Amino acid sequence: MCGLERRRIVTLPPDRETATIRAWLSKHPTINIVSRDPGGEYGETAAKALLNAIQVADHWHLMENASVAFLDAVRPLHEQNPNRNRSDDDQPGIADLCGKLRYQGYLRRQDSRAVITASSATV
């Protein structure tokens, strides 16, 4: 969990269970805005723990949804003419590049989580 104003990690819960998240949120009643994953039970959990907080979709999921929509829109064009975005056979098309960027982002997030988890264990 991050404080969005200071852009700093506030805590790293031991799990993603709704009971754990609700307990933590309940201990912090001054939270006014919850930026969260739009899916799952997090909305209901936040609503029960913080009755007056405003809930919004987080930046990562907004960008992820936009990326998926973009790829869904370009994929049919790429499939109709796979060489459309290539000057020669050695250069990947735009769909290949987007997939590579998404995978690189995934690896960075995994590395960040490992660092955070290791730091939390030493505190």
Domain ranges across the chain: 1-57, 58-123
Query: Is beta strand 2-3 parallel, antiparallel or unpaired with respect to 8-9?
Result: antiparallel
Query: Is beta strand 33-36 parallel, antiparallel or unpaired with respect to 54-57?
Result: parallel
Q: Which residues contact 123 (CB under 8 A, 6 or more apart)?
A: none
Average pLDDT over residues 13-28: 91
pTM, full prediction:
0.53
Is it the case that residue 93 has pLDDT exceeding 80?
no
How far CA 101 is from CA of 5, 43, 84, in Å, comes to 27, 29, 20
The pLDDT tens digits for 105-114 are 888 888 888 8
Answer whether 40's CB lies under 8 Å from 16's CB: no
Categorize the per-residue pLDDT at 29 as very low, low, confident or very high, splitting at 50, 70 and 90: very high
Least confident of 33-47, 70-84, 100-114: 70-84
